[in-house]
Homo-oligomer: A and B are copies of this chain.
Amino acid sequence: MTSQSTEWSTSHSLFFKALANPARMSIISLLHTSQRSVTEISDELGFEQTMVSHHLRCLSFCGFVKSKRKGKNMIYALNKETIVPILKIVEKHLEKYASNLYSCDALER
């Protein structure tokens, strides 16, 4: 394995790791509809505010969401450029393989 291919697999797996968390995906799903403040996200998902902040920090830093301040609030919005086309492909894959993903023991749960 060359060091270049190591870099390739590292960066690509990091991309997927950022999305490989149910809480982060819930947030993305919510923001897909419309932008929201941290408190709104916490309340609507029933997650602790601090947990939501942690995940938003990751999603924001990695380019999946963008944020702007509005008074006391931070408003987070989805960066649709990447997420929307990806989700289309994922959904097509899930049509066939969702049940297998659920029972793949390498991905346990």
Interfacial residues, chain A to chain B (CB-CB below 8 A): 1, 5-6, 8-26, 29, 44-46, 54-55, 57-58, 61-63, 81-82, 85-87, 89-90, 92-94, 96-98, 100-102, 104, 106-107, 109
Contact = CB atoms under 8 A, between A and B. Distances in A.
Given A55-B106, A58-B107, 14 more contacts: A8-B29, A9-B23, A10-B109, A11-B94, A11-B101, A12-B94, A13-B24, A15-B90, A15-B93, A16-B19, A16-B25, A61-B100, A62-B100, A85-B89
> How many copies of this chain does the complex contain?
2
A13 to B, nearest CB: 5
A58 B106 contact: yes
A50 to B, nearest CB: 13
Contacts of A13: 19-22, 24-25
A82 B92 contact: yes
Contacts of A92: 82
A82 B86 contact: no
A9 to B, nearest CB: 4
